[in-house]
Amino acid sequence: MDLLEYQGKQFFARYGIPVSDGEAVTTVDDAVAVADRIGYPVVVKAQVHVGGRGKAGGVKLADDADAVREHAGNILGLDIKGHVVRTIWIEVASDIAEEYYASFTLDRSAKKHLGMLSAEGGVEIETVAEENPDAIAKIWIDPVDGLSEADARDWVERANLNPDATEGAVDILRKLYTAYTEGDADLTEINPLILKPTGEVHALDAKVTLDGNSTFRHEDYSEYEQTQVRDEREEDAHSKGLQYVGLDGYVGVIANGAGLAMSTVDIVNQVGGKPANFLDIGGGANAEVMAGALEVINNDPKVKAIFINIFGGITKGDEVANGIVTALERVDIDAPIVIRIDGTNAAEGREILSRHESASLISKPTMVEAAETVVALAKERGGQ
């Protein structure tokens, strides 16, 4: 779950990270009222799940109520890279001496948490990494050990931050790490992390992505669902409890397990096709789940053929095959379907499917054969 900036700052504040005073509003009059309350100057900031707000005119400084009214009126309803601004954040303006960058995420290959810190803040970290990679100080943290004060201090020194920022940066980095781990986040990022002329270090922005699978530990995370941006396909899948990401291709993908779903997307690409989605139905592949997945795929007009890729583990291949057959009786599918079943009771599953095979329902024994077949069918039907 991606949080809006104001939600990220509220999240940071729970862990003691200093953020600017402010309030999220949805009307011009409320924007003026908040600005009058917190005091001028203020910054009027668009709240959307996309970067580049400043360049698009979504971040403006206001010295008085008339300026707030003007900027709020211009920003509300503004389209920023396809995201229409419905909420704005009014916050106290901050004096800035220097800008830094700080973040934590997971380095899966190292099986450790990765922290990145740079004295070059205020720009996209990808740009810094490309133009001056030595400007990014990295630290890999064993989850068992955590981030000690000594390690944080050494990290700050390696990043060449202003010595005046050392104490404040060390304190915020340790709190940011706590927010990242205890908050079950996939990403916590501050850009810019600022040093004020008075010496305080302060989070001027907040980018937070939370692990949606952790909501059972955080009941309050349900409030973030209301501000998630999904297209119609993703909203439909979410309502059915399916893990779905919409893509731009023409081959619908259904698989059981995130790893297999990613591999399926990859192999469709490798054989010359373009996947229309990532859809993970999880460990179960009964008729109800499969019917829901097929409905989501079928509602995408760009899908020309469907690839169902199942590996039977605890869920047996014959059970999956029966689920697919039953689901197809419930859902009217226009696109041809290619199925690959492997693993536990795969032979039995293929035997069940063989009794229902046709020009629009085809079973193949391997991923490669299935991928090549589904891509060929999709292209025959206009996929490009």
CB neighbours of residue 227 within 10 Å: 17
Q: What are the pLDDT digits (tens) for 4-13?
A: 999 999 999 9
Query: Mind giving me the DSSP string for 35-102?
Result: HHHH-SSEEEEE--SSS-TTTTT-EEEESSHHHHHHHHHHHTT-EETTEE---EEEEE----SEEEEE
Quote the pLDDT of residue 276: 93
Q: How far apart are CA 138 and CA 153, in angstroms?
A: 13
- Name 175's Cβ contacts closer than 8 Å, sequence gap at least 6: 12, 15, 16, 17
Final residue belonging to a domain, choices 154, 188, 222: 222
Q: How far apart are CA 297 and CA 281, in angstroms?
A: 12
Q: At 339, is the secondary structure helix, strand, or coil?
A: strand
Report the half-sphere exposure of 269 (CA within 13 A, side-chain side).
11
Q: Across residues 88-114, what is the average pLDDT?
A: 95
Tell me: do 103 and 81 sit in the same domain.
Answer: no
Tell me: do 165 and 218 sit in the same domain.
Answer: yes
Tell me: do 169 and 190 sit in the same domain.
Answer: yes
Catalytic pick from 6, 100, 101, 177?
A: 101
Query: Mind giving me the DSSP string for 229-279?
Result: ---HHHHHHHHTT-EEEE-SSSEEEEESSHHHHHHHHHHHHHTT--B-EEE
Quote the pLDDT of residue 78: 95
Tell me: do 376 and 249 sit in the same domain.
Answer: yes
If you average pLDDT over every residue of the chain, what do you get?
A: 90
Cβ–Cβ < 8 Å for 85, 47? yes
In a domain, 5, yes or no: no
Total count of domains within the chain:
3
φ, ψ for residue 74 (rounded to 5)?
-75, -35
100 as an active site residue: the answer is no
Final residue belonging to a domain, choices 37, 67, 92: 92
| pLDDT of 383 strictly over 90 | no
CATH assignment of the domain containing 74: 3.30.1490.20
Tell me: do 237 and 130 sit in the same domain.
Answer: no
User: What global pTM score does this model have?
Assistant: 0.70
Tokens of residue 97, six digits? 């001496």
Tell me: do 255 and 240 sit in the same domain.
Answer: yes
% of the chain residues with pLDDT over 90 = 63
Tokens of residue 229, six digits? 């941006």
Quote the pLDDT of residue 229: 62
Tell me: do 30 and 112 sit in the same domain.
Answer: no
Q: Across residues 155-173, what is the average pLDDT?
A: 97
Q: Across residues 347-363, what is the average pLDDT?
A: 90
Quote the pLDDT of residue 239: 63
User: Which range of residues forms the domain containing residue 38?
Assistant: 21-92
CATH assignment of the domain containing 317: 3.40.50.261
Q: Across residues 275-283, what is the average pLDDT?
A: 86
In a domain, 124, yes or no: yes
Q: Across residues 118-146, what is the average pLDDT?
A: 89
| pLDDT of 341 strictly over 80 | yes
Tell me: do 164 and 243 sit in the same domain.
Answer: no
Q: Across residues 12-18, what is the average pLDDT?
A: 97
Q: What are the pLDDT digits (tens) for 207-253?
A: 999 987 788 898 888 777 676 565 566 666 666 667 788 888 999 99
Tell me: do 141 and 263 sit in the same domain.
Answer: no
Final residue belonging to a domain, choices 169, 203, 222: 222
Of the pLDDT bands very low, low, confident and very high (cuts 50, 70, 90), residue 284 is low
- Name 249's Cβ contacts closer than 8 Å, sequence gap at least 6: 268, 273, 274, 275, 276, 302, 383
Catalytic pick from 120, 189, 295, 372?
A: 189
101 as an active site residue: the answer is yes
Q: Rounded to the nearest 10 degrees, how much is the dihedral formed by the CA atoms of 375, 377, 381, 384?
A: 10
